[in-house]
Chain A
Amino acid sequence: MKMATSSERSPPPFPEDLEPEPDEVGDQDSDDGEDIFLGTDNPLEIKMDPSLSASDIASSTKPLSEASSPPVMDLLSEPASEASSAPMVDLLMEPASEGSSAPMVDILSEPASEASSAPMVDLLMEPAREGSSAPMVDLLMEPASEASSAPMLDLFMEPASEASSGPMMNLLMEPASDDLKEPPKPDIDPLADILNDTPLSEVKTPVAAMPQETPSDLFDDEPSELFAEPRQSNTAKQQQTSIFDEPDEDLFSEPLGEASKKPQNDFFKEALAPVAKASNVCGPLSDNYNEHPTDIFTEEAMTTLPSAVSTVSVNSKTNGVHSDEEEPDIFAEATVELSLDSPRNDRKKKEAAKPSASAPAPSVSASASKPQPKTLEELEEEVEDKFELNISITNPEKVGDGMNAYMAYKVSTQTTLPMFRSKTFTVRRRFSDFLGLYEKLSDKHTPNGYIVPPPPEKSIMGMTKVKVGKEDNSSAEFVERRRAALERYLQRVVFHPSLLQDPDVREFLERDDMPRAHNTQALSGAGFLKMINRATDSLSKMTIKMNESDVWFEEKLQEVEAEDQQLRKLHIMVDSLVGHRKELSVNTGGFAKSVAMLGSSEDNTALSRALSQLAEVEDKMEQLHQEQAASDSFCFAELLADYIRLLGSVRASFDQRMKTWQRWQDAQNMLQKKRETEAKLLWANKPDKLQQAKDDITEWEAKVTQYERDFDRVSATVRKEVLRFEKEKACDFKKQIIKYLESLLQSQQQLIKYWEAFLPEAKAIA
């Protein structure tokens, strides 16, 4: 059904099941009126402020500001005091400190290229065959009727011609329906939910995901981050704000103002809003964008991105024209989400196939996911089979002097993947850049249940030594150890099919002038451990409450925990092995010297000779033991340390799943309470409050559905990630252990050589 509907292009036919809800929403909107929305508006509006100052976007913002701004200003001050709005504000404030704004332009083009690569083609094929330009025009035309349409046409014509918007529309539509349920909710949370809706992301092909996800990123669990970023980027602020405004407007203005409107429009706006932002259409669009034009826009954007690199580039260009840096940011995030989507979809598909009904399989997603799995698989195949990406880290180099000195590493990439601009390239990165990359990835992907490989920990001791400039063995060893650890870390990131798609990863690999990572301090040694511990704590707390429906997770978690224990134990043992081996080496050296002395005072010439030979052999053995100790620690201990860290990430993903479960349960409880309230009201015969109660129920029902879906999605991700992790782990261990055994073998060979050379000497004693 859905597929069929989706294939039709023009104004979104809604899936039947979804429709009733939007209606309700409409009712709610009208009833709830401004109060409800005001709360939500506030956070959004806050951003408005910067936007107002912006000169470029001024035009676009103005219309918005006209509609919403006056109230907004009021709202800002007063409504903020309301319970719901307050947390939002807090959230926004904190995250605001984070974020790197500027460099996004580059990214824009890159992610786009990814998105547009192979997998998308499949999806787009059908629509593409048609003269895609025509339908696009049509689409555009309708919205065009509104003021902003004209400029839009220009901007989008090119991309439109390449991609066929039709299917995309469908995709959008479906998710939209899901989303629609929630927008009416007064609470901030719902807002966030709406925007971040997983269904959206699920439904969409990777391409589609881009526009949609942006909103989700922005508003989602970490709305704070999203908001923070725009803020931080001084240059970009204005535009971003404008962008944000737009979504706000869409969401709120329509439901509020036009209560009766079709949900579709609303939905589109939401989805589109980010797109619109990204595309910089703001100026002309600003007026229109609440309605169809935005829709078109989104479609375009979506199609263009996936369809062809060229379109992407076009987009970026247009973007660049309007707002240089901000837009890239937006896109980047969108792309990130893309990558996420694909695995998710894949998983869903699998789950759906399985008897285990655990998969949420929202109707929409099911239809949408079909084409997606293919693309995903292709992606993975690309990565795994062809192994088109080779990364090495070399030439650690001390930069600067004194305590400000740092080590810079050369990160060389060799690849045939089309997503990169060239086949080989190198950049210089410092340690904090690696940490920064992890933070970015972790912020984006951990909430979705992904296992993000952790970087090596900071070592103040080791680094201080290096800084002080002691060129002794231990600091050289430290540098080499770290170099290797960073290399392994980066390789793990890159071999993760989803993470590879992340624009931040590509930026990290490709971009010449990397902005300094901030806040990496948080990750340093103790902080990192604390983080893991915290995760474990909350995890254990929740486990008590959680009545695990899926035995698989329960068992896996136990396995992971047991393995963690074992690995830690093993690590300690290997450390002690290394220590003992070093001791052995020293003692062998001592023995060698002593034997040499003994030989010198021996009065039997042959025996004296043999003893000094023995001393030589022991000398070599000393060396051998030393080398073996190094390989113990390098091949073995480091591997274990890596996996202890990785298991921390695995647990974090379990934790994440638990959190979403908790949220779902809380929502259910809330729903229950609301229902009780309704019953009481009915009994007390208070019709005036009854409507409110009903609205609440509808809202919470939607939330429950949403959260449940989130939970299912995260569960699926975690499951897939864990399986992948296990596979990788087995591979890694095998590889490393073979390497280690080979090192042992080699030292045994040496040993034989030495002793065999000695044997005739011993026999020559007469």
Chain B
Amino acid sequence: TSSVRRNGPKFTQLIVGARSVSVDLNNDASLLIDIPDALCERDKVKFTVHTKTTLSSFQKPDFSVPRQHEDFIWLHDALVETEDYAGLIIPPAPPKPDFESPREKMHKLGEGEATMTKEEYTKMKQELEAEYLAVFKKTVQVHEVFLQRLSSHPILSKDRNFQIFLEYDQDLSVRRKNAKETFGSFFKNMVKSADEVIISGIKEVDDFFEQEKTFLLDYSSKIKDSTARAEKMTRSHKNVADDYIHISATLNSLSVDDNTALKKYTNVEGRVASDEELKLTELLRYYMLDIQAAKDLLYRRARALADYENSNKALDKARLKSKDITQAEEHQQQCLQKFDKLSESGKRELTSFKGRRVVAFRKNLIEMAELEIKHAKNNMALLQGCIELLKSN
């Protein structure tokens, strides 16, 4: 068994029935997407993307395809690069699955096995497995959410690439970005952020966008801060939970040599407490992740706004130069049209984003409060049980 342990637990064949928390709101039933399960093989996660549709653009009403994380990224990039969607908020791409930290922890655990009692090791292992599972579930969820956001968008849901992504039953064999391209996109980002600084000096013509801009800048920095702090908080919460595991394990081994029933219950208490704490942590983290998603959304929006402003500025410049006026006018006209279009769709998008954000917050806050209460109540019941047991013997 030791060799198995040294190699770490078998994470490889985890299959998760990830029931998504439905994040999206305007569900017309014409296109329903979910990821009923996913398979983790080494670094790759294979998602099963299941689609149910009444739309005639699809060949079948019900089908499933295997997709990898890279396919999602490809889809996202394709959408971002489509000129027509400039005025839209493209849903953020799902983050790359990261199983490194639980893996590393598991590795450490294997190394530290000798210093731990058997119960302690078992419990820590269980804990890590649970953590791993949680990470896995979250990963599936963010991918699912991404697709659902697309499917619920009136324009994006009609996108050709999206439909291919959903329907093509072979491996998409998306080409991974090569180094040059990676560098290119990095460079592009640099230019963009420098650009953003430049645009930020430009006076906004539309009050709505002006307000939105200030709000979003402010909001995003704050939510960034909140997320970081929530992360910190959950991490320390997790530490507390881990401490409880160790404590309960040690108490357990103590109770072996003092065969007092009391110790046993203390141990139970310890485990329970740790369990509870852990769940709480998970909840918090989940909540935090949602904030994160919201934050990402904000970023996207800010970027969209910047893009829009950028084009607006370009238009102005062209006008000012008064060179090639016909061409410029034409261009200006184009830009104006584009700008108007962007403004219009941007306005629409922002408003819907606002609504979406509020709804998401509401939902998550309620869920969090309910979970907190539920855990606290469980905790209480357990504690009370322990106390009674202790008192009675």
Name A's B-contacting residues (CB within 8 A).
559, 562-563, 566-567, 569-570, 573-574, 576-577, 580-581, 583-584, 587-588, 590-591, 594-595, 597-598, 601-604, 606-607, 610-611, 614, 726, 729-730, 733-734, 737-738, 741-742, 744-745, 748-749, 751-752, 755-756, 758-759, 762-763, 765-766
Q: How far is the CB of A304 from chain B (nearest CB, A)?
A: 45
A588 — nearest CB in chain B belongs to which residue?
Answer: B233
Task: Determine which of A570, A595, A606, A755 lies in contact with B226 in the assembled complex, contact meaning CB atoms within 8 Å.
Answer: A595
Query: With A and B bound together, what is the CA distance between A163 and B226 in angstroms?
Result: 83
List 25 A-B residue pairs with CB atoms under 8 Å apart, sorted by A's residue number: A559-B257, A567-B254, A570-B247, A570-B254, A576-B243, A580-B239, A584-B236, A584-B237, A591-B233, A602-B219, A610-B362, A610-B365, A730-B258, A733-B262, A733-B266, A734-B260, A737-B262, A737-B269, A741-B386, A745-B383, A745-B387, A751-B376, A762-B365, A763-B366, A765-B362
Write out the residue numbers on chain A whose beta carbons fall within 8 Å of the beta carbon of B239. 576, 580, 583-584
> Are B240 and A577 interface neighbours, CB within 8 A?
yes
Given contacts A573-B247, A762-B368, 7 further A-B contacts (CB under 8 A): A741-B383, A741-B387, A741-B390, A745-B383, A748-B380, A758-B365, A758-B369
Task: Determine which of A587, A745, A762 lies in contact with B233 in the assembled complex, contact meaning CB atoms within 8 Å.
Answer: A587
B223 within 8 A of A: yes
Query: With A and B bound together, what is the CA distance between A148 and B390 in angstroms?
Result: 66
Write out the residue numbers on chain A whose beta carbons fall within 8 Å of the beta carbon of B219. 598, 601-602
B362 — nearest CB in chain A belongs to which residue?
Answer: A765
Query: With A and B bound together, what is the CA distance between A759 and B358 in angstroms?
Result: 16
Task: Determine which of B229, B361, B377, B390 lies in contact with A738 in the assembled complex, contact meaning CB atoms within 8 Å.
Answer: B390
Assess A745 versus B384: contact at CB under 8 Å? Given A577-B244, A594-B226, A610-B365: yes
Write out the residue numbers on chain B whose beta carbons fall within 8 Å of the beta carbon of A569. 250
> Are B390 and A563 interface neighbours, CB within 8 A?
no
Pairs of residues from A and B, 9 with the lowest C-beta to C-beta distance, nearest first:
A577-B243, A762-B365, A765-B362, A584-B236, A580-B239, A591-B229, A587-B233, A594-B226, A745-B383
Name B's A-contacting residues (CB within 8 A).
215, 218-219, 222-223, 225-226, 229-230, 232-233, 235-237, 239-240, 243-244, 246-247, 250-251, 253-254, 257-258, 260, 262-263, 266, 269, 273, 354, 357-358, 361-362, 365-366, 368-370, 372-373, 376-377, 379-380, 383-384, 386-387, 390-391
Query: With A and B bound together, what is the CA distance between A611 and B251 in angstroms?
Result: 40
Query: With A and B bound together, what is the CA distance between A388 and B370 in angstroms?
Result: 50
Q: How far is the CB of A593 from chain B (nearest CB, A)?
A: 8
> Are A730 and B250 interface neighbours, CB within 8 A?
no
Query: With A and B bound together, what is the CA distance between A584 and B383 in angstroms?
Result: 21
Q: How far is the CB of A651 from chain B (nearest CB, A)?
A: 15
Query: With A and B bound together, what is the CA distance between A139 and B215 in angstroms?
Result: 107
> Are B247 and A730 interface neighbours, CB within 8 A?
no
> Are B273 and A744 interface neighbours, CB within 8 A?
yes
Write out the residue numbers on chain B whose beta carbons fall within 8 Å of the beta carbon of A744. 269, 273, 379, 383
Write out the residue numbers on chain A whose beta carbons fall within 8 Å of the beta carbon of B223. 598
Q: How far is the CB of B97 from chain A (nearest CB, A)?
A: 27
> Are A610 and B361 interface neighbours, CB within 8 A?
yes
Query: With A and B bound together, what is the CA distance between A580 and B237 in angstroms?
Result: 8
Assess A580 versus B236: contact at CB under 8 Å? Given A601-B218, A758-B369, A762-B369: yes
> Are B254 and A765 interface neighbours, CB within 8 A?
no
B276 — nearest CB in chain A belongs to which residue?
Answer: A748
B262 — nearest CB in chain A belongs to which residue?
Answer: A734
> Are B369 and A580 interface neighbours, CB within 8 A?
no
Write out the residue numbers on chain A whose beta carbons fall within 8 Å of the beta carbon of B253. 566
Assess A734 versus B247: contact at CB under 8 Å? Given A594-B225, A756-B373: no
> Are A598 and B222 interface neighbours, CB within 8 A?
yes
Query: With A and B bound together, what is the CA distance between A753 and B354 in angstroms?
Result: 31
Write out the residue numbers on chain B whose beta carbons fall within 8 Å of the beta carbon of A745. 380, 383-384, 387
Write out the residue numbers on chain A whose beta carbons fall within 8 Å of the beta carbon of B251. 570
A749 — nearest CB in chain B belongs to which residue?
Answer: B380
B281 — nearest CB in chain A belongs to which residue?
Answer: A584
Task: Determine which of B240, B246, B247, B372 lies in contact with A584 in the assembled complex, contact meaning CB atoms within 8 Å.
Answer: B240
Interface of B is mostly: helix
Query: With A and B bound together, what is the CA distance between A33 and B365 in angstroms?
Result: 98
Q: How far is the CB of B346 from chain A (nearest CB, A)?
A: 17
Query: With A and B bound together, what is the CA distance between A113 and B262 in angstroms?
Result: 40
Query: With A and B bound together, what is the CA distance between A729 and B247 in angstroms?
Result: 18
Query: With A and B bound together, what is the CA distance between A604 and B362 in angstroms?
Result: 11
B365 — nearest CB in chain A belongs to which residue?
Answer: A762
> Are A759 and B386 interface neighbours, CB within 8 A?
no
Write out the residue numbers on chain B whose beta carbons fall within 8 Å of the beta carbon of A598. 219, 222-223, 225-226
Write out the residue numbers on chain B whose beta carbons fall within 8 Å of the beta carbon of A597. 222, 225-226
Query: With A and B bound together, what is the CA distance between A749 and B387 in angstroms?
Result: 15
Query: With A and B bound together, what is the CA distance between A588 and B218 in angstroms?
Result: 22
Write out the residue numbers on chain B whose beta carbons fall within 8 Å of the beta carbon of A603. 215, 354
Query: With A and B bound together, what is the CA distance between A253 and B252 in angstroms?
Result: 64
Query: With A and B bound together, what is the CA distance between A606 and B391 in angstroms?
Result: 47
Write out the residue numbers on chain A whose beta carbons fall within 8 Å of the beta carbon of B240. 577, 580-581, 584
Write out the residue numbers on chain B whose beta carbons fall within 8 Å of the beta carbon of A614. 365
Write out the residue numbers on chain A whose beta carbons fall within 8 Å of the beta carbon of B257. 559, 562-563, 566
Query: With A and B bound together, what is the CA distance between A730 and B259 in angstroms?
Result: 10
Q: How far is the CB of B347 from chain A (nearest CB, A)?
A: 15
Write out the residue numbers on chain B whose beta carbons fall within 8 Å of the beta carbon of A591. 226, 229-230, 232-233
Q: How far is the CB of B285 from chain A (nearest CB, A)?
A: 13
Task: Determine which of A566, A584, A604, A752 lies in contact with B377 in the assembled complex, contact meaning CB atoms within 8 Å.
Answer: A752
Write out the residue numbers on chain A whose beta carbons fall within 8 Å of the beta carbon of B357. 604, 607
Query: With A and B bound together, what is the CA distance between A27 and B43 in angstroms?
Result: 95
> Are B365 and A563 interface neighbours, CB within 8 A?
no
> Are B387 and A590 interface neighbours, CB within 8 A?
no
> Are B222 and A737 interface neighbours, CB within 8 A?
no
Task: Determine which of B225, B365, B384, B390 lies in contact with A734 in the assembled complex, contact meaning CB atoms within 8 Å.
Answer: B390
Task: Determine which of A581, A587, A601 lies in contact with B215 in the assembled complex, contact meaning CB atoms within 8 Å.
Answer: A601
Write out the residue numbers on chain B whose beta carbons fall within 8 Å of the beta carbon of A577. 240, 243-244, 247
Q: How far is the CB of A11 from chain B (nearest CB, A)?
A: 54
> Are B246 and A738 interface neighbours, CB within 8 A?
no
> Are A738 and B387 interface neighbours, CB within 8 A?
yes
Assess A580 versus B243: contact at CB under 8 Å? Given A598-B219, A745-B380: yes
Write out the residue numbers on chain B whose beta carbons fall within 8 Å of the beta carbon of A581. 236, 240
Q: How far is the CB of A346 from chain B (nearest CB, A)?
A: 24
Query: With A and B bound together, what is the CA distance between A595 and B260 in angstroms?
Result: 47
B355 — nearest CB in chain A belongs to which residue?
Answer: A604
Q: How far is the CB of B143 from chain A (nearest CB, A)?
A: 27
Most-contacted residue by chain A among B226, B244, B260, B377 (CB, 10 A): B226
> Are B358 and A737 interface neighbours, CB within 8 A?
no
A737 — nearest CB in chain B belongs to which residue?
Answer: B266
Most-contacted residue by chain A among B250, B258, B377 (CB, 10 A): B250
> Are A748 and B233 interface neighbours, CB within 8 A?
no
Query: With A and B bound together, what is the CA distance between A574 and B246 in angstroms?
Result: 9
> Are B366 and A584 interface neighbours, CB within 8 A?
no
> Are A759 and B369 interface neighbours, CB within 8 A?
yes
Q: How far is the CB of B375 from chain A (nearest CB, A)?
A: 9
Assess A755 versus B258: contact at CB under 8 Å? Given A601-B215, A737-B266: no
> Are A590 and B376 interface neighbours, CB within 8 A?
no
> Are B366 and A762 interface neighbours, CB within 8 A?
yes
Q: How far is the CB of B67 from chain A (nearest CB, A)?
A: 34
Query: With A and B bound together, what is the CA distance between A39 and B254 in angstroms?
Result: 53
> Are A755 and B369 interface neighbours, CB within 8 A?
yes
Query: With A and B bound together, what is the CA distance between A749 and B373 in angstroms?
Result: 9
Query: With A and B bound together, what is the CA distance between A603 and B257 in angstroms?
Result: 61
Query: With A and B bound together, what is the CA distance between A82 and B226 in angstroms?
Result: 83
Query: With A and B bound together, what is the CA distance between A729 and B257 in angstroms?
Result: 13
A591 — nearest CB in chain B belongs to which residue?
Answer: B229
Write out the residue numbers on chain B whose beta carbons fall within 8 Å of the beta carbon of A762. 362, 365-366, 368-369
> Are B222 and A752 interface neighbours, CB within 8 A?
no
> Are B260 and A730 interface neighbours, CB within 8 A?
yes
> Are B369 and A590 interface neighbours, CB within 8 A?
no
Query: With A and B bound together, what is the CA distance between A279 and B373 in angstroms?
Result: 73
> Are B380 and A759 interface neighbours, CB within 8 A?
no
B235 — nearest CB in chain A belongs to which residue?
Answer: A587
Task: Determine which of A570, A588, A610, A729 lies in contact with B250 in the assembled complex, contact meaning CB atoms within 8 Å.
Answer: A570
